[in-house]
């Protein structure tokens, strides 16, 4: 399966990005890593050019709030991304934040999987479960 990943906005968290890249590759995914400082439109465009099944966005300093609202409207401009699995992981709030409110909020923005302050391996296990379930249906 093909995954497009990267860190959004003005993050310079390259270590986390690279670890996600390596972990995904270790689990057999074909990874297209856009790196840090990536913009929403670049993410979606990369999914189109590569035919990716999954988009995994990292956000590490609570900045996600700012651009997440644009996701639905931007994604609707694309005719071929309806089956794209969208996942977001990292630190999705400034401060600790409460997963009980954060997860539904980001699901409303359009994400299928929301991982707030969850360990990388756990998060990727969740992804694999989600994909498996979806393939069955």
What is the contact surface with other proteins in residues (CB under 8 A)? Answer: 12, 14-15, 17-19, 21-23, 25-27, 30, 32-37, 41-42, 44-46, 48-51, 78-80, 120-121
Token couple for 70 = 């644009």
DSSP characters over 30-98: EEEE--SSB-HHHHHHHHHHHT-SEEEEEE-SSTHHHHHTTHHHHHTT-SS-TT-EEEEEE--SSSS--
| Identity of the residue, 101 or 122, whose beta carbon is nearer to other proteins in the bound complex | 122
Minimum distance of other proteins from residue 79's CB (angstroms): 5
Q: Which helix (H) or strand (E) holds 90?
A: strand 85-90
| Identity of the residue, 79 or 133, whose beta carbon is nearer to other proteins in the bound complex | 79
Distance CA 26, CA 72 (A): 31
Minimum distance of other proteins from residue 55's CB (angstroms): 14
Minimum distance of other proteins from residue 6's CB (angstroms): 11
| Identity of the residue, 79 or 100, whose beta carbon is nearer to other proteins in the bound complex | 79
- DSSP symbol at 110: T
| Identity of the residue, 50 or 97, whose beta carbon is nearer to other proteins in the bound complex | 50
């Amino acid at each position: 399966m093909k995954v497009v990943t990267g860190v959004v906005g003005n993050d310079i968290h390259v270590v986390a990005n690279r670890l996600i890249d390596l972990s995904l590759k270790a689990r057999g995914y074909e990874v297209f890593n856009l790196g840090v400082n990536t913009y929403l439109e670049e993410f979606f465009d990369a999914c189109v050019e590569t035919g990716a099944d999954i988009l995994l966005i990292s956000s590490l300093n609570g900045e996600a709030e700012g651009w997440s609202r644009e996701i639905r409207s931007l994604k609707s401009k694309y005719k071929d991304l309806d089956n794209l699995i969208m996942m977001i992981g990292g630190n999705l709030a400034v401060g600790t934040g409460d997963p009980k409110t954060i997860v539904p909020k980001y699901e409303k923005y359009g994400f299928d999987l929301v991982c707030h302050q969850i360990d990388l391996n756990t998060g990727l296990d969740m992804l694999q479960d989600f994909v498996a379930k979806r393939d069955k249906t």
